[in-house]
Structure 1
Amino acid sequence: MLKRKGFLSITLSTLFALSTTFGASASSIPNTSDKDNLDNIINSMTLEEKIGQMLMPDFRYWGKDSQGNSIPFTVMNEQVGNIIKKYHLGGVILFKENVANTEQTTRLVNGLQKASDIPLLITIDQEGGLVTRLQTGTNMPGNMALGAAHDLNITEKVGKAMGEELNALGINVNFAPVLDVNVNPENPVIGIRSFGGDPQLVANQGYAYIKGLQSTGVAATAKHFPGHGDTATDTHLGVSVVSHSLEQLETIDFIPFKKAIDEGIDMIMTAHVTVPALDNDKTISKKDGTEVGIPATLSKKILTSVLREKLGFNGVIVTDAMNMKAISDHFGKTEAVIKAINAGTDIVLMPVSVWNESAESELNDLFNIILASVKNGTISENRINESVRRIIAMKIKRGIIGQEDTRTLEEKIANANNVVGSKENKRIEKIAAEKAMTLIKNDNKTLPFKLQKNKKLLIIGYGKSRVDLMTLALKDIMKETGKTIQYSTLDYSSSGPEIPSDFKKAIDEADSIILGTLNLKVVPGKEASASKADRLAKAITEYAATKNKPLAVMSYRNPYDAAYLPAAKAVIAVYGPTGYDITSGSNASLPINIPVGMRTIFGLVNPNGKLPVAIPTADGKGTLYPIGYGISYK
């Protein structure tokens, strides 16, 4: 493979001039003389350089310790630098393991960029809420919380704050937002990552998020096209089918993506779902020899005919991770990459994971197979040129190429320390979370609870980390208000289905109870199929009701729990991620949803959120609470 060091010296002056003209439309290449200049730049690149621009591996770990455990890749090294140079990589994706703290992340990103002749796309999945990679950044409450807050202004501010933090670290692409319309309550992979179950709500919230994010110079990525909102299988684990008709796709799934395209989204990420209404072709699985459909990621009918031609997207298409089992199990790693490129993909995400020097051989094999495929005509060189043209155009538009950063590394670190997790961003996070709090049920004005020194509160939570977070929030509330209450805690995650005697005793002695629940499902008549913990949660609400104990449910994550707990007097949805181990010693910021939920339960926040999804009845045959439902204390 050839490396042409002259690339930058030949073209940067031209690129810098071009960078001032891009921006009117984030997903189009200008039809002016600039287009000819861009073509000249592409034509000056070797085929090897072009192929490298289309590959985006991860360096999540590098090597192993004496116990055989993978070591997180947090410090740039010569080996990784050589791999970036040798294969002319267009970008890398960072994970939580790579971003331990602000200074370390800034140094790592700086080192990655210095290793590359052509500036890299440095990408990350910083959605907010459930999918948050930065360990010292601002978590934000997540998309469904923003949908519940129903405030486009705050959503734009959230997107902008997240973009500012990424930009300060040198990360120039965010694989967010999720624009899937979550119309399936049993969706195992999207859920609260979606803004909601109404296409227009998702479209409007998504646009506000994108507007805020891209205003900072960070490229946004709408995902997962053509829509992952009505699936019951996690594509990380296997094939998932979206059975929507063409009409449903056009009136539900496409709506948010079309708005994002019209408003200038930089990138769109594909979904590893099969959509028979768009592509009903079949192939034979390499895993078990069965007949399987073609996932959107590998479908020319979906990526080119629909996304490019029908919806008019001219920006960068990136695949979801190619090591997910929906792809790797059935299509083979190398074959899948070739199919994805021919389908219309511009960037192949994580075709291999390069976690040590020996793993380079897999990248080398893939690179040479792609190169050979172009030379023998399996992949046309024009197909490669189209993708590289879009990638380089986006790099110019976002200032990745053509706008030199003259600051020293220490100056970059100082700036990042001021921006990442700043007081202002924390203030925006708090406002967004408070606006999201949704009171679904409040019989007999059970809430808000009062802090009274001579009263006993029982906190029953699912998982120690969540119980710890609820307890920490309670302590903060008592400190803030100067009022106290006696309290005790229980974790029910490993118990059930019958109520243990110590649980009954604690309930009997309590004056009020907070029960935290996590994605319950106890279908009437099918209780035996529910988990022991879920059945215990339902039994706790019923026992408390027989004892006439005020019990409030905090639905930690998906808001659907309310349907399975009819005996609960009050239910509040907080749309939160998992809890956090406050004893771990990490300096990571705590998730905000549960603490704000506790503040709402004690009346420090008035719940004004509205359900962004409909909550079906427990048997799934009707609607218990519609989209837009929510009550307040006032």
Structure 2
Amino acid sequence: MFLSKVLVILTVNTAKQQSCRGQNKRGAEHMGQKLNWTATLGLTTALLAASLPMQPVAAETTPSVTERVDAQLDQMTLEQKIGQMIMPDFRLWDGVNHTQLAPEVGRVIDRFDLGGVILFAENVSATEQTTKLVHDLQEVVKSDASNDIPLFVTIDQEGGIVTRLGTGTNLPGNMALGATRSASYAEAAGGIIGSELKALGINVNFGPVLDVNNNPGNPVIGVRSFSSDPQLVGKLGSAMTQGIQEQGVAATAKHFPGHGDTAVDSHYGLPVVDKSLAELKQLELIPFKRAIAEGIDMIMTAHIGMPQIEDEVVESKQGTFPLPATLSDDVITGVLREELGYEGLVVTDALNMQAIADNFTESEAVIKTFKAGVDIALMPTILRSANDVTKLESIFDDVLAAVENGDLSEADINRSVERILTLKATRGIWNETDTPVTLDEKLAQANTIVGSPEHKALEREMTEAAVTLVKNDKKTLPFKPKKGETILVLSPAKDQTDSMVKTIRSLEKNAGNLKRVNILTENYTALTPHLEQNQVLQEKLDAADYIIIGSNVNNSDKLKATSADHYVPAEVFRQAKRTKTPSVLISLRNPYDVAVQPDAKAQLLVYGFKGDPNGPDSEAGNTKSAGPNLPAGTRAIFGEVKPQGKLPVDVPKFEDGLFKEALHLEFGDGFRNWNR
């Protein structure tokens, strides 16, 4: 009799709970949820066991991830499921950087049951501030008893030139790691990234970049890529992924099916890669295939047209374009899911980039994305104030309408949410039971790990191992100035010259073999006149005994003879050659600038343009412009570091404003005539 009553009570209560779960905060109707008989049966069995005398009580069984996910899906409304698939940013709110949770932002997250957010540099200025912001974001969903699934808190912490955190370890970047050829360094870099994000509460990293940078004219990838060799990209990308995911942070391979062979930045236009599937398999897909085989958590799409894979075209006010890969079922479902067998999460690149936004409405982009087989729509609209929330409402309403009219399949949505919940569970983001951790405990942990001395020491070691010497005529390097001699330092930006000057001064104090020298500096920009019209620079050149020129080139336009990024260094090197003044080009970004400076006596590559992590800005707590590359290169110029790196890309010749098939330098070059 007791057991019969229990069964009746449990059945009635469960049915009541299920009927209530359909009432979403925005008033969506419940879509026929099933009763959670698994939970009912488990509790009934436990009560039965307790009611039987002299019987041992069975140990409580922890539900499997699959059981938890199935149970959660059964109780979610359609609108709550869609919320898991939408990931906006809140980098600015009411005109200021969103560094502490605004109440309106919390209400947006709660109202739409959002599954995640992405953070940018505007959100993450300092360690304690970032820890508290992330803590507060998660507290918003914890307070919602009807749908308390923790957020994906994501960020683009690639290392090198794409480093979002305001404090912490910046690392040399992927192409620098490619120059070391070391999987151990790549894994260590991933471990540093993963452990620092984990300590801050950030649980998804949008990295590593697995694009193969085989197009030297690429304006957006460049040093973000490990190499122009797909096997090296796969090897180092796999190692970095392992380092990140071993820390409990989800890693994301990007940008599928490959953004390396493009000459257009998809932030500003739609690149087209006119290759067949067979051609892609020979190059672009190699790193992604390896990442899939080794268990990558997420893959991010690229906004690139693939006309030989997807023949649908887009007619817009901008003209006629191939349907971008992000919105293409032939690319996402056909190639990624079916051809490569990927079963994990797929997230878009930002949908407000112009490659998408110029050609589709916000709702069109999201719906096409979901139809293509993508699980998460990243940044589908720009939210900067409460007035923008109506745009998010429209997206939700349009997606719901697409399901109701059959344009979108609810079964496909269920599969996407199943993948989202599964990853949240397996990465420990959404736990069966949580051990409470106070904010103070989180802060203490973050302060211990983020930017730790151990991380900084590894950062310096791998950065120095990446420095690549590709030219050293008559053993120009290392410089060995005498006391009182003058060094002229030029670069495009003040923080770069400041970094080199600071490093030289530290060598005077600590190295012993560099005596007190005079240092002159100059910065050149697009407005810098030619040398015959530049009296200030000419006077500094006349006074110089040694010349260091930093070159920061990220596209082929800057390599043209009409660009100050070309002609300022070229004119200085020509004069230095006439006067026999020792000179060195230090390439700060894409290494292709070495092809247009033949008069430089020495050429050194460091693959990163950011200033000193201990530079002037760091004293004010601002290290966003910091990076270890320039100090490492400067130490190499004066013989404190022996260049060991090898070129991770081919450097073609550049003539008449175009890259040629003939090579200026080839993959693997380095170690040119070094004598300490």
Q: TM-score, normalised by structure 2?
A: 0.86
Cα deviation code 1:131-187 (max 9, x no counterpart): 000011110010000001111101101100110000000000000010000001110
Structure 1 residue identity aligned to 2:167: T
Structure 1 residue identity aligned to 2:330: K
Aligned residue among 634, 642, 666 for 1:626: 666
Q: Corresponding residue for 2:24? A: 2
Secondary structure at the counterpart of residue 153 of structure 1:
helix
Is residue 489–residue 497 contact of structure 2 (8 Å, CA) maintained in 1? yes
Distance of 2:392 and 2:338 partners within structure 1: 32
Query: Cα RMSD (Å) of the superposition?
Result: 2.3
**Following superposition of structure 1 onto structure 2, how do residues 355-366 of structure 1 map, counting pairs within 5 Å?**
355-366=384-395
Aligned residue among 635, 641, 665 for 1:599: 635
Is residue 524–residue 564 contact of structure 2 (8 Å, CA) maintained in 1? no
Pair 1:94 & 2:94 matched: no
Cα deviation code 1:174-226 (max 9, x no counterpart): 00010000001110000000001000000001000000000000000000000
Is residue 646–residue 670 contact of structure 2 (8 Å, CA) maintained in 1? yes
Q: Corresponding residue for 2:174? A: 143
Distance of 1:354 and 1:41 partners within structure 2: 29
Q: Corresponding residue for 2:326? A: 297
Distance of 1:246 and 1:345 partners within structure 2: 20
Shift of 1:37: 5.2
Q: Corresponding residue for 1:26? A: none
| Distance change in 2, residues 1:82/1:33 (3 Å) | closer
Distance of 2:127 and 2:633 partners within structure 1: 28
Secondary structure at the counterpart of residue 133 of structure 2:
helix
**Following superposition of structure 1 onto structure 2, how do residues 49-68 of structure 1 map, counting pairs within 5 Å?**
49-63=80-94
Q: Corresponding residue for 2:535? A: 501
Distance of 2:479 and 2:194 partners within structure 1: 38
Q: TM-score, normalised by structure 1?
A: 0.92
Pair 1:416 & 2:438 matched: no
Q: Corresponding residue for 1:17? A: none
Structure 2 residue identity aligned to 1:51: I
* Larger Cα-atom Rg: 2
Pair 1:376 & 2:405 matched: yes
**Of 237-246 and 335-344, the range deviating more from structure 2:** 237-246
Is residue 523–residue 618 contact of structure 1 (8 Å, CA) maintained in 2? no
Is residue 137–residue 588 contact of structure 1 (8 Å, CA) maintained in 2? no
Cα deviation code 1:425-483 (max 9, x no counterpart): 10111011011000010000000012421321111111212111111111122121243
Pair 1:445 & 2:475 matched: yes
Distance of 1:11 and 1:416 partners within structure 2: 42
Is residue 81–residue 112 contact of structure 1 (8 Å, CA) maintained in 2? yes
Q: Corresponding residue for 1:340? A: 369
Secondary structure at the counterpart of residue 250 of structure 2:
coil
Secondary structure at the counterpart of residue 553 of structure 1:
strand
Q: Corresponding residue for 1:588? A: 622
Shift of 1:492: 1.9
**Percentage identity across aligned positions?**
47
Aligned residue among 79, 90, 113 for 1:48: 79
Distance of 1:562 and 1:496 partners within structure 2: 22
Shift of 1:594: 0.5
Aligned residue among 426, 431, 437 for 2:456: 426
Which consecutive residues of structure 1, in runs of 5 or more, have no partner in the other structure?
A: 15-31, 64-69
Q: Corresponding residue for 2:648? A: 612
Q: Corresponding residue for 1:19? A: none
Cα deviation code 1:508-567 (max 9, x no counterpart): 22111111111188899x955x31342121111111101111101101111111100011
| Distance change in 2, residues 1:13/1:534 (3 Å) | farther
**Following superposition of structure 1 onto structure 2, how do residues 442-591 of structure 1 map, counting pairs within 5 Å?**
442-482=472-512, 483-493=515-525, 494-499=527-532, 500-519=534-553, 530-579=562-611, 582-583=616-617, 586-589=620-623, 590-591=626-627
**Of 249-258 and 36-45, the range deviating more from structure 2:** 36-45
Runs of 4+ in 1 over 6 A off after TM superposition: 10-14, 520-524
Is residue 508–residue 547 contact of structure 1 (8 Å, CA) maintained in 2? no
**Following superposition of structure 1 onto structure 2, how do residues 24-35 of structure 1 map, counting pairs within 5 Å?**
35=66
| Distance change in 2, residues 1:169/1:405 (3 Å) | farther
Distance of 2:575 and 2:482 partners within structure 1: 24
Distance of 1:421 and 1:272 partners within structure 2: 34
Shift of 1:41: 2.7
Secondary structure at the counterpart of residue 219 of structure 2:
coil
Shift of 1:585: 5.4
Q: Corresponding residue for 2:17? A: none
Structure 2 residue identity aligned to 1:379: L
Q: Corresponding residue for 2:342? A: 313
**Of 484-493 and 85-94, the range deviating more from structure 2:** 484-493
Distance of 2:648 and 2:38 partners within structure 1: 47
| Distance change in 2, residues 1:602/1:166 (3 Å) | same
| Distance change in 2, residues 1:11/1:146 (3 Å) | farther
More contact order relative to length (CA 8 Å, sep ≥ 6): 1
Secondary structure at the counterpart of residue 554 of structure 1:
strand
Secondary structure at the counterpart of residue 176 of structure 1:
coil
Which consecutive residues of structure 2, in runs of 5 or more, have no partner in the other structure?
A: 1-22, 27-32, 41-62, 142-147
Is residue 556–residue 575 contact of structure 1 (8 Å, CA) maintained in 2? yes
Structure 2 residue identity aligned to 1:563: A
Distance of 1:423 and 1:34 partners within structure 2: 38
Q: Corresponding residue for 1:243? A: 274
Pair 1:388 & 2:403 matched: no
Shift of 1:325: 0.3
Is residue 236–residue 325 contact of structure 1 (8 Å, CA) maintained in 2? yes
**Following superposition of structure 1 onto structure 2, how do residues 128-139 of structure 1 map, counting pairs within 5 Å?**
128-139=159-170
Shift of 1:583: 4.8
Cα deviation code 1:572-595 (max 9, x no counterpart): 000003347835853234311001
Distance of 1:154 and 1:141 partners within structure 2: 11
Shift of 1:332: 1.6
Is residue 487–residue 518 contact of structure 2 (8 Å, CA) maintained in 1? yes
Secondary structure at the counterpart of residue 137 of structure 1:
coil
| Distance change in 2, residues 1:523/1:136 (3 Å) | closer
